[in-house]
Amino acid sequence: MYRYDEFDHAFVQTRVAQFREQVEARLAGQLTEEEFRPLRLMNGLYLQLHAYMLRIAIPYGTLSARQMRQLAFITDRFDRGSAHFTTRQNLQLNWPKLIETPDILAALAEVEMHGIQTSGNCIRNVTSDQYAGVAADEIEDPRPTGELIRQWSTDHPEFSFLPRKFKIAVTGAAMDRAAVAAHDIGIRVVRNDAGEVGYRIYVGGGLGRTPMLARLVREFLPKDDLIAYLEAIMRVYNLFGRRDNKYKARVKILMHEAGTETVKRMVEEEFARLPRAAINVDPAELARIEAYFAPPAYEALGDEPALLAAARQADAGFDAFARANVVAHKQPGYAIVNISLKPIGGAPGDATSAQMRAVADLSERYGFGEIRVTHAQNLVLPDVRQRDLPALYRELLAAGLGDANAGLITDIIACPGMDYCSLATARSIPIAKAIAQRFANPARQQLIGELGIKISGCINACGHHHLGGIGILGLEKGGEESYQITLGGDPGNDAAIGKLLGPGLAGDDVPDAIERIVDLYLAGREAGETFVAAYRRLGHDHFKGALNADRH
Amino acid sequence: MPIVTERGFGPDGWATVADETAVADGGDVIVSWKRFVAEAATLTGRAGRIGVAVGPDFDVDLHVAGLDGVALVAIAFAKFADGRGFSIARRLRDRGFAGTIRAVGPLIAEQAPMAFACGIDEIAIPDDLAARQPESRWLRAVELRAAVSYQRGYRTGASVFDQRSTGGAA
């Protein structure tokens, strides 16, 4: 894992001191609320429905056990004992007090964390593949690139007052688990015909009210040119992105209105003109960062198929867990373990401080003290010895973290919705709970197989509903909540935006409609066909009848 | 309208002349870009320096050749949240403009070091803002920013990336 050096420490500590002064200046009236707003947002502090909300960055989703314990401490000391992991690999505290936020930021700085640029019209926390560095299908660990981008984008003098927020995701694997097509800039680590490793750059993805998939702008960018190329994209966006309408201000709209080829040409021209050598970072710096992500000291082990088969036969719960939550590791004898934060009846992505501490402990006993946060709002232990899996499963069960539903129908992504968020037009969490309860039967979940349900409580699409195999969007219609259902969304390599199935439904009718969609899938699927694959083959109209009983 | 530089508040040595007002001979004046284009020959021939006021949609690459003889470019910031002026300043510096760059508008103190890093030399702020945000706030923002900055190629102290590779101390 990356460790701060004296410069990184100096930066966050200065930032904490500065924020403390800004809070004082706000309270003294030197700053108006309008002026204070971008400053607090740049430190992750939102004003929500009932209180402030502090969003803490977990860059590229990697946490140490020590950091997780500190988050648990902060959750107890400054919040109400639970916190919420988000779809952008951030952690949200829902009840901090304004006056205490500088102290929270100071506590984060102690463990090399911050809330910088988790909000506001700036370059946001960089996200990545939750299996980075341990995935079997990886060209290169994307996290050093993520860390380089984190540092370069931190407090950027030119790009801190953009037309709108700006999200960058990086993946290094053959399978895109970081939804790069849904980001303002998506970066894929690729190898060219000459065998060199570089970047493929996509621009203009985003969800919200106008969902669009990012377009390819650079097939192969040499690694050493990354920062200058990013500055060229950012400058074109900063100058020419729309500022007259916040709903048309993302770079996707610039791409859409000006055309991909025009934006591409503008970026390439800017890239050709700017003083590349003065801007790019010495390759030695990336190498320095890469050294922190060197693989841990793995034992020379062999895979344990016989041991695992016996354990699965002996325990149906473990069998289900191994099937859904355990993923192949690049190192023989090891496995990647997903820890579900989606217990049936719980709020997706919520964790109590006790659970956070339990995960920290388990990451040390069953790994190298490292934890990942996923954009599906779950956690990952990246380096578990296969022979330890049955024991780990029992401990997770004891901590209330043993749900064997990763990637299944009850592994629902949901934004906080009307229960917390001031932007929301409908509730998300109760809908997620009701659907999970409907499909609680483990055997039924396994029968249905891989299926992503994603729920957003408003058009801003924080729940990524556009990318759900089944997407649910909560709107307000004539004073009542109304839920639209989309089908066929896919965040992966064949990224697709879901298509609207029909008119909105009342919240109470959503579980029935989902059940009918699932029944139509089960009736129409071929052996081994996932929901999205079946949807593509069967077509949208196959599912039309699912809504008829519940027109709202 | 106080002028903020890295040294704090100062007076405005330039007279901003409205399009319909005659430009007197002598003294440093700022005129609109439109007027400058129309009257360039006369304006550059007079005694005293000439500055041009440009909007946040000013296209540097289109017009940079026409800035010969211009001693100051004043970039309007309609509101502090509109960051286009930072990129305009950067482009002016990238493309070789060596005169003074001024930001004009309600920037906040925290933006001063960003403006200076992008090649802006001075910021003309409204009087009411200056009254609410005293000089000390602006100087403090500059001081805090000087501590650490990562980016290379901006007008800041040494980038963290460079300090690391040269083994420089924090």
Which residue in B81, B140, B148 is closest to A7 by CB distance?
B148
Q: Is residue B143 scored above 70 in pLDDT?
A: yes
Other C-beta atoms lying within 10 Å of the C-beta of residue A273? 14
Task: Report the C-alpha gap between A309 and A387 in whole angstroms.
Answer: 11
> What confidence tens digit (pLDDT) does each residue in B69-91 have?
999 999 999 999 999 999 999 99
Indicate whether this complex's ipTM tops 0.90: yes
Do both A287 and A309 map to the same domain?
no
Task: Report the C-alpha gap between A452 and A447 in whole angstroms.
Answer: 14
Of the residues A291, A316, A341, which one is the last residue of a structural domain? A291
Q: What is the least distance, in Å, from the CA of B154 to any CA of chain A?
A: 8
Q: What is the least distance, in Å, from the CA of B52 to any CA of chain A?
A: 19
What's the token pair of residue B7? 């040294």
**Contacting residues of B for A238, CB less than 8 Å apart:** 83-84, 86-87
- CA torsion, ordered B161, B102, B13, B54, to nearest 10 deg: 160
Interchain contact B88–A (C-beta under 8 A): yes
In a domain, A185, yes or no: yes
Pick the residue of A158, A227, A268 with the most B CBs within 10 A to test the interface with B by mutation.
A158
What's A490's DSSP letter?
B
Do both A326 and A285 map to the same domain?
no
Question: Do residues A368 and A105 make contact, with C-beta atoms less than 8 angstroms apart?
Answer: no
Pairing label, strands B15-16, B29-32: parallel
In a domain, A16, yes or no: yes
Task: Report the C-alpha gap between A467 and A207 in whole angstroms.
Answer: 9
Task: Report the C-alpha gap between A391 and B14 in whole angstroms.
Answer: 76
Give the pLDDT of residue A78: 96
Q: Helices marked H in B31-75 — which ranges?
A: 33-45, 60-63
Q: Which residues of A81-107 are buried (b: 16+ CB within 10 A; e: fewer)?
A: ebbbbbbbbbbbbbbbebebbbbbbeb
Do both A339 and A274 map to the same domain?
no
Do both A139 and A255 map to the same domain?
yes
Give the torsion sign (CA, B79, B124, A153, A2).
negative
Do both A390 and A484 map to the same domain?
no
> What confidence tens digit (pLDDT) does each residue in B3-20 have?
999 999 999 999 999 999
The tally of domains found in chain A comes to 4
CATH code of the domain in which A185 resides: 3.30.413.10
Give the pLDDT of residue A25: 87
Do both A359 and A242 map to the same domain?
no
Q: How confident is the model at residue B34 (pLDDT cuts 50, 70, 90)?
A: very high
User: Under CATH, domain B3-165 is a member of which superfamily?
Assistant: Aldolase class I (3.20.20.70)
Spans of chain A, pLDDT less than 50? 552
Give the pLDDT of residue A456: 97
Interchain contact B84–A (C-beta under 8 A): yes
Coil, helix or strand for A321? helix
Task: Report the C-alpha gap between B61 and B55 in whole angstroms.
Answer: 14
Give the pLDDT of residue B170: 40
The rounded Cα A55 to chain-centroid distance in angstroms is 13
Task: Report the C-alpha gap between A416 and A94 in whole angstroms.
Answer: 10
Q: How many CA atoms within 13 Å lie on the side-chain side of A58? A: 29
Query: Does the distance separating the beta carbons of B165 and A284 come in below 8 Å?
Result: yes
Task: Report the C-alpha gap between A354 and A531 in whole angstroms.
Answer: 35
Q: Which of A92, A79, A85 is nearest to A61 (CA)?
A: A85
Give the torsion sign (CA, A182, A185, A190, A194).
positive
Coil, helix or strand for A200? strand
What's the token pair of residue A185? 């800039």
Do both A47 and A177 map to the same domain?
no
Which residue in A30, A156, A161 is closest to B132 by CB distance?
A30
Do both A242 and A343 map to the same domain?
no
In a domain, A407, yes or no: no
Q: Provide the domain limits for residue A32.
A: 6-58+84-110
Which residue in B86, B118, B148 is closest to A14 by CB distance?
B148
Of the residues A363, A398, A433, which one is the last residue of a structural domain? A398
Give the pLDDT of residue B156: 85
Query: Does the distance separating the beta carbons of A274 and B94 come in below 8 Å?
Result: yes
Give the pLDDT of residue A27: 87
Q: What is the least distance, in Å, from the CA of B7 to any CA of chain A?
A: 19
What's the token pair of residue A269? 């021209």
Q: How confident is the model at residue B167 (pLDDT cuts 50, 70, 90)?
A: low
- CB pairs A-B closer than 8 Å: 117
Q: What is the least distance, in Å, from the CA of B83 to any CA of chain A?
A: 5
Give me chain A's average pLDDT, please. Answer: 95
Amino acid at B108: I
Which residue in B86, B118, B164 is closest to A7 by CB distance?
B164
What's A295's DSSP letter?
-
Q: What is the least distance, in Å, from the CA of B139 to any CA of chain A?
A: 13
Give the pLDDT of residue B144: 86
Q: Which of A165, A199, A171, A200 is nearest to A184 (CA)?
A: A165
Taking only Cα atoms into account, the Rg of chain B, rounded to an integer number of angstroms, comes to 17
Place of tokens 């190629």: B153
Task: Report the C-alpha gap between A201 and A423 in whole angstroms.
Answer: 31
Task: Report the C-alpha gap between A242 and A244 in whole angstroms.
Answer: 6
Length of chain B: 170
Pick the residue of B61, B129, B161, B166 with the most A CBs within 10 A to test the interface with A by mutation.
B161
Give the Cα-Cα-Cα angle B140, B144, B147 (nearest 5 degrees).
145
